[in-house]
Amino acid sequence: MPKIHSAAAREIGGRIRAVRQELGISLEDLGELSEISWTSIGKIERGASSPTAETLVRLASALEVDPGMFLSGISSDAYGQRERQVSVRDLIRARGEQQRARERG
C-alpha cells in the first residue's frame, strides 16, 4: 500500500487526477504541458507527495482550471495534528488580556 503524505495531499491529488481524466489526457501529457515530470505528478495524484504552490499553479494552468479548485475546502486539520491549536483570534484575545492586566496593575 502506498504511503500517503496527508489527507489533504490525497484530496488535492484526487482532484488533479479527476480533472486530468475528465480531459482524457495521460500523466505524460500533463507532464509535458506543465513542465513537471509525470512521475512527480503520479506521486501527487496518489497523495504520496504534497505539491508546492508553484506546482499547483503549473498543473492548473496546463489543465485550464483555477488553482483554487484544488485547495477549496481544505483546512490545516487535513495535514494532521498540529502542535499548537492557536488561531489569530486566540492570539489577539490573549494580547488584549495581557494589556488590560498591565494597565490594572
CATH number at residue 85: 1.10.260.40
Closest C-alpha among 15, 18, 39, 44 to residue 27: 39
Q: How far apart are CA 71 and CA 8, in angstroms?
A: 9
Within a domain: 23: yes
Cell 479548485 belongs to residue: 69
The three cell numbers locating residue 46 = 496518489
Within a domain: 96: yes
Total number of domains constituting the chain: 1
Within a domain: 32: yes
Is residue 82 within 8 A of residue 76, CB to CB? The reply is yes
Within a domain: 26: yes
pTM of the predicted model, to two decimals? 0.77
Within a domain: 2: no
Within a domain: 80: yes
Within a domain: 36: yes
Is residue 7 within 8 A of residue 48, CB to CB? The reply is no
Question: Please, which pLDDT band fits residue 82 given cuts at 50, 70 and 90?
Answer: low
Q: Please give the residue range of the domain that contains residue 46.
A: 7-104
Q: Which tens digit of pLDDT belongs to each residue from 89-104?
A: 988 998 999 988 888 8
Within a domain: 1: no
Q: Using CB atoms within 10 A of its CB, is residue 9 exposed (0-12), middle (13-18) or buried (19+)?
A: buried
